Structure 1
Amino acid sequence: MRVTETLLPSARPAEAPPERRGGVVAVGLVLGGALSVQFGSAVAALLFPRTGVAGAVTLRLTISAVLLLVVCRPRLRGYDRSAWLAAGAFGLALAGMNSLFYQAIDRIPLGPTVTLEVLGPLALSVFTARRLASWCWAGLALAGVALLGQGGFDRLNPAGVAFAFGAGTMWAAYIVLSARVGGRFPGADGLALALTLAALVTLPLGIVDGGAVLLDPTILALGTALAVLASGLPYTLELLALRRMPTATFAVLMSLGPAIATLAGWLVLRQELTLLECAAIVLVIAASIGAVRVRAAAAERPARR
């Protein structure tokens, strides 16, 4: 972060340097993507009473897959067995992550769900960094979870907590597999193919859960909005942001997800949290940011030698 210079009252502000303007734009893109994802999740929760949880998952994944297939038009030839296995595993991770996450937000508020879910990527960051400082940040995250428990896991619903932890595990798998798929498929082709598989995997349960209501024009319109908010728009914004900022800075900003989810839950779903639960969310966010910075420093150190 840069400190803005103090100007005299009579001085005319100079135009910001291009790199500074690019940095501000990049931050805005990341935050815009995060807002889109979390408010999209709130929209999904509004759909549950009509479509069921599995129906909402199917709507999001199917419409997202169709939109991405139309945009990317991925080719199907020229890939070896390992590439297809990576794409298949990526698709299963997407299906599992979305299904478990939506099952969680059907039972517990959005903010605590994302807070527990983010522990998956946090654990991945800690294990890959292999630094004592990373384990200290992990301890802070556990303190946050313990504080969240003081607010009452029974109030949060134990099944919902378990689903959130499961979604976090699948999120960690998603991160690992997305890197593998990205190295084997050009552009977003791998994501388009993985989303298609995820949609096919979740389709049977979605049809059983939602039935004919999934074809209702109003539900389809809401499902399209959900797909755009939760998948299409944030993916585009994040891709643009990553071209303008270091990945470590991007990861730090993405760590604000639990706070944005709490805001979305409060504004859209009228979900109120206790002070203890809010403090727990802050601790997990701080731990996530700290772990990301430690990992980034560890990655840069060998390059400086």
Structure 2
Amino acid sequence: MEIYGMYYFAFNKSLEPMLFADPNTGRIFDVNQAFLDLLGYSKDEFIVKTVFELGLLPEEDSRFLSIKTKNGSLKSGMASANKLLHNEKTMCLMVFQEQIANGHFTLEEMLTQIISLISKISEFRDPYTSGHQKRTQQLACAIASEMKLSGEGINNLSMAAAIHDIGKIYISTDILNKPGVLTQLEYQMLQTHVEVGNEIIKDFKLPWKIPKIISQHHERLDGSGYPKGLTASQIFLESKILAVADVVEAMNSHRPYRPALGIEAALDEICNFKGEKYDSEVVEHCVRLFKEKDFNFSFSS
């Protein structure tokens, strides 16, 4: 699947310094304004250079390095690269995060930057999807915290929830924004967003469990979900949590084909199918958050 085009519109608007380059020759194909501002070059001056001249190494890795600016000073930070396919040719998307003061970068900080970039791709195309992902992330993490998941488990879930619908950028807006009921064919096309999302994120070096959590968030305990029809023991706990948070947020929010149904209707839905489609413990903790702990979504629709 060609995914270069998916990143390009986010690339130009991002506040993170980024460039596209040939991983073999180092030739720079394009650079965003954030990178130009960081180093003090005009685009014409920058584009004739190679990443090797700048001190960047277009390898699929993250490393600490220093880049020389136009006036000769050094900018230090972490550079990361991910290989993408464009017109059957491999390209490198390079991202540079400047080091602030004497701070040090951690793997978690780099992962957060990657997740933020992927999330912005959704936001630029469909602001609604971005809001849905943020609210779902908030609820999923609250449930996980109540269930005493490990810090690693909550972090993985948080990152997965933040981009769980990224595959929808490949779904026609005519389907996403259709005011009426979807036809069977349209619904089948909508379901492909899970597998498309997995195709997108597999090109980023994320912890192995994050793509798995995302790929299972529409699976159901009784095997009625998609894309693989997995059953209870085959589904990660994090995916079971994400599934409940996803349903509750979706039912509580406006859709093109219906007004928001409200929290009560959403909680009735997960309670009616507790133990059948949705994990019983996850449902109980979710309901308790709303009924006893006054949980509220902090992100507006």
Give the TM-score of the pair, scaled to structure 1: 0.26
More helix by share: 1
Q: Structure with the greater relative contact order (CA < 8 A, sep ≥ 6): 1 or 2?
A: 1
Give the TM-score of the pair, scaled to structure 2: 0.26
Task: Pick the structure with greater CA Rg.
Answer: 2
